[in-house]
Each structure stands twice: as C-alpha cells, then as structure tokens.
C-alpha cells in the first residue's frame, strides 16, 4: 500500500513538471513571435474596418492564426480605384466581389498581389482589356466574371496562362464569337458561358434550319404531290377527252354514215320520185294521146255517122251509080291482066 502511494505521488509530480514545461515552452514561443502575429491581426482588423466604412462586407477564418479575411464583397458600393489599396494586405483573400462598382483598370492594379484569390467578380464594372493584364499572376483563380464589362477579344487573350480557371463569364462584354473560339482553344478546361451560348445558339440555329428544311421538304413534297395529282388529273382529263373525242368521232362517223345513207336513200327516193314523175308525165302524155285518139276516133265516128246519114238521103240514081262504080272498078282492074295475057301471046 505504501509502495502504491509513493508511485502515485511520483507520477503526479512527473505530470506536474511536464505541464510546467509545456507552459514555459508555449510562453517562449509566444514571446518569440508576437510581433508578426499581432501585426498581421492588426492589419486584418484595420482592413476590415476600412472595408466596412466603404459599405463592404467581410468573412474571416476564425480558425487560422490572425483570423485572416477570406471573403470581401464591395458589390453595389461607390468604392473607387484608390480605395482598393485596402485589399493589398489581404494575402489570404480567396473571394472578391466588385459587382456594380465604378472600378476601372487602375483599380485592378491593387489586386495583382492577391495570389490566393480563387473567385473574382467584376460584373458591370468599367474594366477593359488593359485592366486584365494585372490579373496574369493570379494563378489560383478558378472563377472570373466579366459580365457587362468593356472587355474584348484582346483582354480574354491575356487570360490564357490562368491554367486553373474553371469558369469564365463573358455575357454582355465586347468579346466576339471569334474571341470566344480562341479562348476555348487557349483554355480547354474552362467553361465559357459565351461558348455555351454559342453552342446553344448554334444548336438553336441548327434546329431552326432543320425545322425549316423539314418544312421546305414537306412543302416540296406537298407541291410534288399536288403536281402529281394535277398531272394525274390532267392525264385522266386527257384520257377522258380522248375518249369523248373518240366517242364524238364515232358519233360523227355514224352521223356521216347516216347522212350518206340518208343521201343515198334520198337519191334513191329522188330517182324513184323522178321516175314516178316521168312515169306520171308519160302516163299523162299517153292518156292525152289516148284522149286525142279517142277524140279523133269520136270525130271519125261522128263523121262516119254524118256520112251515113248523108248516104241515107242520096237519090236512087246516085245509089245506082255508086253500085255501078264497083263493077267498073273491077273491069278496070281486069284490063291490065288481059293486057298481059295478050302480050304473052
């Protein structure tokens, strides 16, 4: 029991000596470098106060020695180029926003020593190509926004050595499509909003062109179909017209044949009518002739009757004389025969 108590006392004594030694070492270290740490903290405090007077806001790293300022926002303040001198001692600054301030190229000269800076927002400032030359040494810069600035192709070209740059915002700047293409080539790992916009615009344009081409193709197809339909209708109309023409031709032929037949029949009927007329005329002539003959016969008969009547009233002498005449005639007729007989003798 005594041995245990003595051992415990020795351990406590040893621990106490170690604690005292630690305190002494800590005091020695604090005494050895109080000036730098205290001066750094004082600089940070002063910078914070100055920034707040300008209307800005700050964030500090409470866990790091001297509680360095890591984030400063002077957005939408009237900070001038000269006022930015307050930032020169903030060597641990990683984020800075000067959005909407009247800062120019001259103000950016105060930023060239902020080598820990990772994010810098210069939206709607008066910065131009010349000012970006002050940012060449910010090798840790990851995000840079130049939206709404006067920066052009030359300014973007000066950023080609910022190999850690991940995002570059150029909307509303004077950077052209050509400058954007060069930036994309110089910073292949960097996402550039204009490049995305260009790609989006190209995609939109391509989609519009494809849609237009599709509409034109559809229109041409409709026109081709329309023309084909019209051609088909024209062919059908032509066939129909030809059929109608053929039909009319056949009808005309039939009509012509009917006409020829009618003409022939008319001719035949005309010939028959002519013959009938001629026959009628002939019959009439024959009838007239017969009538004349009948009339003559009647006249002869009448004459005979008259002569007969006259004969009835003749004198007997005349009758005798007439009766005698035949005998004399016979005698006269006989004389030549007798004369011939005599001549024969």
> Please, what are the domains in the chain?
33-189 (3.80.10.10)
- pLDDT value for 167: 94
| 170-178, Cβ contacts within 8 angstroms, sequence gap of 24 or more | 170/146, 170/194, 171/147, 171/197, 172/147, 172/148, 173/146, 173/147, 173/148, 173/149, 174/150, 175/151, 176/152, 178/153
Instruction: Output 44 or 21, whichever has higher pLDDT.
Output: 44
pLDDT digits (tens, 9 = 90+) for 259-305: 888 888 888 887 887 888 888 888 888 888 888 888 888 888 888 88
pTM of the full structure: 0.52
CA 144, 150, 156, 157 torsion-angle sign: negative
Residue 33: the pLDDT is: 42
């Amino acid at each position: 029991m005594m041995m245990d108590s003595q051992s415990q006392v020795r351990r406590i004594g040893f621990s106490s000596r170690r604690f005292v030694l630690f305190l002494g070492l800590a005091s020695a270290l604090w005494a050895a470098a109080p000036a730098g740490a205290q001066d750094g903290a004082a600089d940070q405090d002063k910078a914070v106060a100055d920034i707040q007077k300008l209307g800005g806001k700050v964030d500090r790293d409470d866990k790091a020695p001297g509680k360095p300022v890591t984030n400063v926002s002077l957005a939408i303040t009237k900070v001038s180029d000269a006022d930015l001198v307050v930032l020169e001692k903030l060597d641990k600054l990683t984020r800075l926003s000067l959005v909407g301030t009247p800062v120019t190229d001259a103000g950016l000269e105060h930023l060239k020593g902020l080598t820990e800076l990772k994010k810098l927002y210069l939206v709607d400032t008066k910065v131009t190509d010349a000012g970006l030359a002050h940012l060449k040494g910010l090798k840790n810069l990851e995000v840079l926004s130049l939206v709404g600035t006067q920066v052009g192709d030359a300014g973007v070209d000066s950023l080609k050595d910022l190999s850690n740059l991940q995002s570059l915002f150029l909307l509303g700047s004077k950077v052209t499509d050509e400058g954007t293409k060069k930036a994309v080539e110089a910073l292949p790992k960097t996402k550039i909003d204009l490049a995305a916009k260009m790609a989006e615009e190209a995609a939109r344009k391509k989609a519009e062109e494809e849609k237009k081409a599709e509409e034109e193709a559809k229109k041409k197809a409709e026109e081709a179909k329309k023309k084909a339909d019209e051609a088909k209708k024209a062919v059908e109309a032509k066939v129909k017209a030809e059929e109608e023409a053929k039909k009319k031709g056949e009808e005309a032929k039939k009509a012509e044949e009917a006409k020829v037949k009618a003409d022939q029949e008319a001719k035949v009927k005309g010939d028959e009518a002519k013959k009938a007329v001629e026959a009628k005329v002939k019959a009439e002539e024959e009838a007239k002739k017969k009538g004349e003959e009948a009339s003559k016969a009647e006249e002869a008969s009448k004459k005979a009757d008259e002569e007969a009547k006259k004969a009835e009233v003749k004198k007997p002498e005349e009758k005798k004389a007439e009766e005698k005449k035949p005998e004399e005639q016979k005698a006269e007729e006989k004389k030549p025969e007798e004369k011939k007989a005599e001549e024969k003798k």
